[in-house]
């Protein structure tokens, strides 16, 4: 991985030059190609700050079933859930829907910077709040909605991000908590 020195992602662009420098001088640049590279974040020692692209993520909590599925966009911090949780044991599956680039930073450094720098802590809290809001909305739909409502909720997120051409029935199934067969039947009805 090459050293990353010039943050242009949505997360870092909102920070002061000094806060951006603290992150960038310790970051490594990464690139993932679309769909060709499904990445499993097995270690909980790094976070990825996405600069460009979109990725489908899901968490497996010591089971084969994928849970906590979402689509992340530029500026998202992949691995944010593990901040300040030394015993966190989920595996994160990361599937680029479009080519993804960004910077990889050690989790311990992000935790240290957040503890020492209110600006970075605030930016992380904002990112976490946006993601938490999506989780709460999705939980309500998944708990009380029909299969079609769950699918429509997922389709709305895909449309919001302009990813209609990149998404497959399998991706929609994962996002909706449905089988691919069910998604296909609902879309054809």
Do residues 77 and 9 touch, judged by C-beta distance below 8 A? no
Query: CA 118 to CA 140: how far, in whole Å?
Result: 32
Return the pLDDT at 184.
95
* Total number of residues shown for the chain: 189
* The pLDDT value given to residue 40: 64
Sheet holding 27-32, edge to edge: 2-4, 27-32, 100-106, 46-52, 77-78
Whether residue 84 contacts residue 45, with contact meaning beta carbons closer than 8 Å, is answered with no
Q: What is the pLDDT of residue 32?
A: 87
Rounded to whole angstroms, the Cα distance separating 93 from 173 reads 15
- What token pair was written down for 164? 């209609």
* Alpha-carbon Rg for the chain in angstroms: 17
- The list of the chain residues with pLDDT below 50 reads 1, 62-63
Tokens of 69: 């599925």
82 DSSP 8-state letter: G
What pLDDT, on a 0 to 100 scale, did the predictor assign at position 62?
A: 47
Which residues pair with residue 106 across a beta bridge? 46
* All structural domains of the chain: 2-143 (2.60.120.10), 145-189 (1.10.10)
What residues contact residue 50 under an 8 Å CB cut-off, 6+ apart?
A: 9, 11, 72, 73, 74, 75, 76, 77, 78, 100, 101, 102
Reading the block at residue 28, the tokens are 């490594």
The pTM assigned to this predicted structure is: 0.81
């Amino acid at each position: 991985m090459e050293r990353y020195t010039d943050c242009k992602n949505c997360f870092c662009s909102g920070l002061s030059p000094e806060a951006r420098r603290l992150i960038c001088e310790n970051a490594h640049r990464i690139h993932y190609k679309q769909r060709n590279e499904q990445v499993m974040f097995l270690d909980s020692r790094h976070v990825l700050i996405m600069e460009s692209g979109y990725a489908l993520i899901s968490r497996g909590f010591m089971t084969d079933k994928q849970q906590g599925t979402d689509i992340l966009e530029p500026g998202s911090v992949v691995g944010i859930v593990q901040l300040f949780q030394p015993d966190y044991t989920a595996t994160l599956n990361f599937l680029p829907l479009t080519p993804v680039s960004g910077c990889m930073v050690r989790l311990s450094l992000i935790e240290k910077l957040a503890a020492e720098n209110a600006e970075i802590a605030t930016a992380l809290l904002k990112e976490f709040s946006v993601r938490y809001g999506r989780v709460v909305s999705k939980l309500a739909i998944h708990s009380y909605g029909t299969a079609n409502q769950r699918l429509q909720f997922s389709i709305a997120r895909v449309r919001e991000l302009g990813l209609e051409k990149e998404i497959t029935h399998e991706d929609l199934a994962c996002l909706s908590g449905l089988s691919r067969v069910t998604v296909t039947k609902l879309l054809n009805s």
